[in-house]
């Protein structure tokens, strides 16, 4: 496991404090959901984490050819993106 130390905005710390959760727990849980690790929050949360990561374009801008959202989840991902009012990025295959 890699340990990362990074500053967080006061707004995020205050939000976590209001909800009685530590910033570390929120970030660790997001990573569990994104990477499908043991202890995820559930299938919807995993999909939303993947949509967020995909929407930010990290893999796309790095030229990675792997889809972040597995093909079997494309239809639900499209539905969730439409419900949220956001388009999913389109990657043209070579």
Residue-by-residue pLDDT tens, the chain, 94 positions: 899 899 999 999 999 999 999 999 999 999 999 988 999 999 889 988 988 888 887 766 656 555 555 666 677 777 777 777 777 665 544 4
Could you give the residue ranges of the DSSP H alpha helices within the chain? 10-18, 23-35, 43-56, 58-61, 74-84
pTM: predicted TM-score of the whole model, two decimal places: 0.67
Separation CA 15–CA 61 (nearest Å): 30
Q: What pLDDT, on a 0 to 100 scale, did the predictor assign at position 94?
A: 45
**Own/partner long-range contacts of 35-44 (Cβ < 8 Å, ≥24 apart):** none
**Residue ranges per domain, the chain?**
20-84
The pLDDT value given to residue 57: 78
């Amino acid at each position: 496991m890699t340990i990362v130390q990074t500053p967080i905005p006061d707004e995020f710390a205050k939000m976590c404090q209001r909800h009685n959760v530590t910033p570390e727990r929120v970030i660790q849980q997001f990573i569990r959901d994104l990477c499908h690790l043991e202890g995820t929050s559930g299938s919807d949360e995993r999909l939303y984490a993947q949509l967020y990561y995909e929407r930010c374009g990290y893999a796309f801008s790095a030229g990675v050819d792997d889809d972040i959202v597995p093909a079997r989840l494309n239809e639900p991902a499209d539905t969730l993106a439409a419900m949220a009012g956001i388009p999913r990025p389109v990657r043209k295959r070579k």
